[in-house]
Structure 1
Amino acid sequence: MSLLLAASLLLRALAIPLLARVAWIDFSTQKIANRDVLLLLCLGLGSLQLLSLQSGSWWDMGLSAIAGLILFIALFPFWTMRKVGAGDVKLMAAMPFVIGGSNLAVFSVLLLIFAVITAVAVKNPFLLPAGMFRVYIQHLDRKGVVPFGVPISAAAICTIAVQIAYGLNAFGQP
Structure 2
Amino acid sequence: MLLAASLLLKALAIPLLARVAWVDFTTQKISNSNVLLLLCLGLGSLLLLAVPSGSWWDMGLSALAGLLLFVVLFPFWVMRKVGAGDVKLMAVMPFLVGGTGLVVFSALLLVFALVSVLLVKNPFVLPAGAFRLYVQHMDQKGVIPFGVPISAAAIGAIAFQFYVSLVLAGSSGILQQLN
SS of the residue corresponding to residue 9 of structure 2 reads helix
Normalising by structure 2, report the TM-score.
0.94
> Does 1:91 pair with 2:99?
no
The residue correspondences of 1:65-76 to structure 2 (distance < 5 A) are 65-76=63-74
Amino acid at match of 2:161: Q
The residue aligned with 2:161 is: 163
The residue aligned with 1:100 is: 98
Contact 1:5 1:54 in 2 (8 A): no
Cα distance between partner residues in 1 of 2:132 and 2:90: 27
Number of positions where the alignment pairs a residue of Structure 1 with one of Structure 2: 172
Unaligned runs of 5+ in 1: none
Higher Rg of the two aligned structures: 2
Per-residue deviation at 1:170?
2.4
The residue aligned with 1:121 is: 119
Unaligned runs of 5+ in 2: 174-179
Q: 1:137 aligns with which of 119, 135, 138?
A: 135
Select the structure with the greater relative contact order (CA < 8 A; seq sep ≥ 6). Answer: 1
Q: CA RMSD in A?
A: 0.8
Normalising by structure 1, report the TM-score.
0.97
Cα distance between partner residues in 2 of 1:42 and 1:167: 22
The residue aligned with 1:55 is: 53
Contact 1:48 1:61 in 2 (8 A): yes
Which runs of at least 4 in structure 1 moved beyond 2 Å after TM superposition? 53-56, 168-172
Cα distance between partner residues in 2 of 1:134 and 1:127: 8
The residue aligned with 1:20 is: 18
